[in-house]
Structure 1
Amino acid sequence: MTDRQSCYRRRRLLQTAASAVALGLAGCSENGQSTPTPNETETETPERTPTDAELRNAALGFTEQLAAGEYEAAREVFAPSVAEQVSAAALEAIWADLQRANGPYVEIEGAERVTVQSFAAVVVTIQFAQARQGLRLVFDDERRVVGFQLVAPASDEWTAPSYVDQGAFETREASVRGPGNCALPGELTVPGDGGPAPPSFVLLGGSGPTDLNGTLGPNQPYRDLAYGLGTAGNASLRYTKRTAACEVDPATLTIDDEYTDDAVAAIEMLRSQDGADPNRTVVVGHSLGAKLAPRVAAQIDGVAGVIMLAPPGRSLHELLVEQTRYLIELDGSVSDGEQARLDAVTVAADRVDRLDIDDDEVVLGAGQAYWESLQAYDAFETARSLDVPILVLHGGRDYQVTATDIDAWRDALADEPNVRFETYADLNHLFLPGEGPASPAEYQTAGHVDEQLVTVIDAWLEARWD
């Protein structure tokens, strides 16, 4: 494993494994070496101990500078030994990874003074579009940062929705193996009655390093869906994406690396399992996974259908600009800092559109290979080329994939006789119910995929083989 691969691996662990692996304390400098931990850093005796307010202000200032793209200025709070090992480019890559995993930055929710190994520390809670993230900065006695970590905010334990009967199906641990040596953790869900093999589906997660449950805060929508459909007598396989489980370099990653190759391996695996009918396998995708679902179905013979949950109808970088604008305008005003963030995302999106990306550079969370492969993929034409039924479902409160995207799909598939569209006015991007304008905050409120979605998918699956 190269130093660079190790660095990217550590970043992914921080974002997706809900761990407190150190970022800074455990590396991600340009040379892949670890930044000194507090007990490795020599400090001089201070004239006075910094106050809690001074530490909080320093932590908030550092975070605000990251959000504003002022990476070189953010390094000024570091102790010299840390500044030598964590470059502005490394901070930029870390922040890009966070936004790719959690959506665009929204705001700082607060800062809490804590203690780490007798050192003063501050945990800053950051709200992104799709999730909250804790950033813990450890200070020496001179108010200099000697280490920093991403820490996962505590989330409520998942409980099954009321429509799930966990006695109606069995779950089995699974390991999906696509290209390379990395195994993707997964879970099979099969009926427990021992009857004829039912329809089955493989679930493709959304953008970023998504786990098998689609975990966002206390919510696990993919688990809701799999268990709800398992209760109704269907089999499924869902798995953690390669970007969450494996060593990946975002500068060289493509959409086939992220989605297609592993999904094809997952379908082949599901077809070989007892309790799943190999002739009745459906590809189900959510968000970007929904857009890639036709590509996966086209790569393997015998797929019996495609279900697209909130499929983007526009380019991903265009949606990132729209989401950022929506979020900064949500409170009815736009600050100078918010406008600067929107301007920065707009400039980056324009670079992506022109593929103006250097080798080894990461823009909006991905490199040239990824953006080029995504631009080369014609999702509409691929869907039209499939000779299988397609179900497209959308939440009317979805601000990430909007009616504009679904209308684009309606237009593209208007002449296809075996396509069905359904929109649910009160559901959001995760297909959880709510009221009023949607916001990232509701992703942090425990809920479940609406039962009507499970019922419609189950009825659609049954109708395919009546």
Structure 2
Amino acid sequence: MRLYKLTFILLILLAVVTASCSTQTAPADPPLEGDVTDLAVDFVTKLSEEDFAGTVAYYDANMRQALPESNLREVWEQLLGQAGPFVGILDTRVESDDEYDAVLVTSEFESLVLDIRVVFNRDKRVAGLFFQPAQEHYESEYRLPPYTDTAAFTEYEVTVGSGEWALPGTLTVPLESGSHPAVVLVHGSGPNDRDETIGPNKPFKDLATGLSSRGIAVLRYEKRTKEHGQAMASQMETLTPKEEVIDDALAAVALLRSRDDIDPESIYVLGHSLGGTLAPLIGAEDREIAGLIILAGAARPLEDIILEQYHYLAGLEEKVTEETEAALQDMQLRVERVKDPDLSLDTPADKLPLGMPASYWLYLRDYNPAETAKTLSVPVLILQGERDYQVTMEDFTIWQDELSSRTDVAFKSYPGLNHLFMKGEGPGNPNEYMQPGNVAQEVVDDIVSWLQVR
């Protein structure tokens, strides 16, 4: 049961650290001296030794408010309880931008390898703290799916958008001459890379190479919150899905239209998870998009989906602890605040689900994905894994109920497939995301067949 609860913990940590980005600026602390890598190693070492007072001494003032010593102790104890004892530091690497240096301290626990991401401001004070699966550790486990024919397409490195939010991407184009139909892949929640990597799995790479092996060009790109995560921290108080997802998807479509090897009248948007939920909004913003493909897109309010996931994960535990029960009650209160008519931009982010700001929830308040899809005059393909516990068959049924009268909307669900559209058995659980797999071939086949008759 360890990874079930670890996923639960990581969701809580996301809320804590995001809150630190949106807290009102406090008086500055004196700068720390030394190399940030050495400071990060010292920070993690003190954490592993449970010297919480020494760990907090590295914080800036905002972090002290967001994750005080008592909370840090609780988080660490929960983490050890699920990941197992801390074994040691395996590696470090630094990612920097104009405002922050993020040191990823790859750390081995008994059951998992995690990147402890320690974010330093320019005074070399800790301004953020994240725990995430160590992607480089799992990278060697990925294998291209058997339906990929690497001799059938070529890849180009491209840039989506321009200016401060420009994003690196990969465009796979079939080798056959002429202009090709194309698909833009739009990510789910979180700071995803272009492959939508999770553990050893890369569902967007599977889709891109699989579709391009069958004559369809595919553009995938780094998500803004991945590529510009530290810069976006300063924008957290006003963040909405428009900046997080929609603007960059529209820029990706525009890039494809500018290319001679792409048919400008056959550009489709494929959204997964949150990307699928927002796909109708993307289509509404650009009425020349040829159609939408929605993979595991929620049809219900996002806050309801989050609360449902919390209860599902809690139900996987052998015994619901007081700690878990308290977390469920806390999330219930956060969801109620989102639904409160008095929600305003002044509502603190650390009182809302996942620490996302009020601007984010207000943007989504009146958005109904299925109703928006009804207003579009383009074909839509909606696919759903029946073992998906994150976006469930309840959402799929809503899509069907709202859009089944449309002859240009197709639906299909897949027994045995999870949220990543990968095969598994039994009730869906987060543990399987750490097992190597590929998007099921039947999903790629169905997308190709649907596109070929457009």
TMscore range, shorter length: 0.7 to 0.9
Contact preservation (8 Å) 1:380, 1:413: yes
Task: Give me the whole-angstrom Cα distance separating, in 1, the residues matched to 2:405 and 2:152.
Answer: 39
1:209 is aligned to: 191
Q: 428, 437, 441: which one pairs with 1:438? A: 428
Q: Aligned-pair distance for 1:214?
A: 0.4
Q: Name the residue aligned to 1:160.
A: 144
Superposition pairs of residues 20-419 of structure 1, within 5 angstroms:
36=32, 58=50, 77-78=53-54, 81-82=57-58, 85=61, 87-91=63-67, 108-114=82-88, 123=107, 133-135=114-116, 150=131, 152-153=133-134, 154-157=137-140, 158-177=142-161, 180-194=163-177, 196-246=178-228, 247-248=231-232, 249-354=235-340, 355=343, 358=346, 361-362=349-350, 363=352, 364-419=354-409
Check conservation: 1:133, 1:151, Cα contact below 8 A.
yes
For 2:262, what is the secondary structure of its paired residue? coil
User: Residue 425 of structure 1 aligns with which residue?
Assistant: 415
Per-residue CA distance 1:297-350 (angstroms, 9 max, x = gap) = 121132111100001011111111110111111134211111111111111111
Normalised TM-score (structure 1): 0.74
Q: State the 1:455 CA deviation.
A: 0.3
In 1, the alpha carbon distance for the partners of 2:303 and 2:132 equals 27
Structure 1 gap ranges (5+): 1-13, 16-23, 41-51, 60-75, 100-104, 138-144
Query: Aligned AA for 1:214?
Result: E
Scaled by the length of structure 2, the TM-score of the pair is: 0.76
Distance 1:421 1:125 in 2: 42
Are 2:426 and 1:450 equivalent residues in the alignment?
no
> Larger % of helix: which?
2
Greater displacement, 108-117 / 309-318: 108-117
Q: Which amino acid aligns with 1:111?
A: P
Report Cα offsets for 1:328-377 as digits up to 9, x if no partner.
Answer: 11134211111111111111111122236635634323111111001122
SS of equivalent to 2:265: coil
d(CA) in 2 for partners of 1:256, 1:32: 32
1:47 — aligned with what?
none
1:261 maps to amino acid: D
Could you tell me how far apart the structure 2 residues matched to 1:132 and 1:401 are? 27
Aligned equivalents of 2:169, 2:81: Cα separation in 1: 33
Deviation string 1:402-437 (CA, Å, 9 cap, x unpaired) is 011111111111322211110001000000100001
SS of residue in 2 equivalent to 1:279? strand
| Residue matched to 1:71 | none
CA distances 1:31-64 after superposition (whole Å, capped 9, x unpaired) = 6879747889xxxxxxxxxxx9x975728xxxxx
Task: Give the Cα separation in 2 of the matches to 1:410 and 1:403.
Answer: 10
Post-superposition CA distance 1:73-117 (Å, at most 9, x none) = xxx53357335646343338xx9xxx9xxxxx9972123243699
Q: Aligned partners of 1:34 and 1:449: how far apart in 2?
A: 50
Looking at structure 1, the residues matched to 333 and 164 of structure 2 have their Cα atoms a distance apart, in angstroms, of 37
2:290 alignment partner AA: A
Partner-residue secondary structure (3-state), 1:324: helix
CA change 1:132–1:347 in 2 (3 A) is farther
CA distance 1:365–1:186, shift in 2 (3 Å)? farther
Are 1:463 and 2:453 an aligned pair? yes
Mean Cα displacement is larger for which, 225-234 or 413-422? 413-422
**Deviation, structure 1 residue 280:** 0.5
Distance change in 2, residues 1:86/1:388 (3 Å) = closer
The 1:33/1:281 distance shift into structure 2, 3 A limit, reads farther
The residue number in structure 2 matching 1:73 is none
Distance 2:275 2:316 in 1: 27
Q: CA deviation at 1:149?
A: 7.2
Deviation at 1:281, TM superposition (A): 0.7
Does the Cα contact within 8 Å between 2:90 and 2:106 map onto a contact in 1?
no
Q: What is the distance in 2 between the residues matched to 1:431 and 1:366?
A: 27
- Distance between the aligned counterparts of 1:259 and 1:243, measured in 2? 9
Give ranges in structure 2 of 5+ residues lacking alignment. Answer: 1-12, 15-19, 37-44, 92-104, 119-125
Whole-angstrom distance in 2 between the partners of 1:31 and 1:413: 54
Give the CA RMSD over aligned residues.
Answer: 3.5
Question: Offset at 1:447?
Answer: 0.6
In structure 1, what residue type is equivalent to 2:362? E
Cα–Cα, structure 1 residues 84 and 322, in superposed 2: closer, same or farther, change >3 Å?
A: same
Contact kept, 8 Å, 1:125 with 1:135, in 2: the verdict is: no
Moved more, 231-240 or 150-159: 150-159
Shift of 1:187: 0.7
Instruction: Tell me the alpha carbon deviations over residues 158-198 of structure 1, each in whole angstroms, 9 at most, x when there is no partner.
Output: 321111011100110011116x522111111101122x322
Offset of residue 255 of structure 1 = 1.5
Cα distance change on mapping 1:30 and 1:406 into 2, 3 Å: farther
What letter is aligned with 2:181?
P
Cα gap change, 1:282 to 1:348, in 2 (>3 Å): same
3-state secondary structure, aligned to 2:439: coil
Share of identical aligned residues, percent?
A: 37
Q: Give the 3 Å change call, closer, same or farther, for CA 326–58 of structure 1 in structure 2.
A: same
Flag the 1:393–1:79 CA change in 2: closer, same or farther, 3 A: closer
Contact residue 126 and residue 135 of structure 1 kept, 8 A: no
* Secondary structure in 2 matching 1:277: strand
| Contact 1:176–1:239 (CA under 8 A) maintained in structure 2 | yes
